[in-house]
Structure 1
Amino acid sequence: MHLWVNASQISVSDIRFIEHAISEFDRHEVTSRMTFEITESADGDACKIVKGLERLNLKAMPVMLDDLRDG
């Protein structure tokens, strides 16, 4: 079963949130089944978001943009 985490840009820009999420995914051995879905609202610091995305990339964790407006 594949699992999705829907997170705001503010959450993804918080490296503590990213590290905690990765730690929990690793602890429960579900990292390989996880995908982060980021809300499209522009509410985060772009530089910090990139750092969070880079950290997720190091874990080979897919990241998607939530296209809420498209249905």
Structure 2
Amino acid sequence: MSEISLTLSEAIKRTGISRSSFYRLFCERKLTPRKSGKRVLILADELDAFVRSLPTASHHQSTGEGSR
């Protein structure tokens, strides 16, 4: 069984998105933070859908080539 939600730290490790970027995404209402006591949780399905909705990187972007 996969997890229903992730802590913010788990989401950072899973995606590579920074903590400050997550808070920006919350402010922009692109992701919805959930609270359980002091913990910030993100629904795994919502996070997966967000990451899948991101544009694909071209070969030059993903390898750093062509950035000179």
Q: TM-score, normalised by structure 2?
A: 0.28
More helix by share: 1
- Report the TM-score when normalising by structure 1: 0.28
Higher strand share goes to which structure?
1
Question: Highest Rg: 1 or 2?
Answer: 2
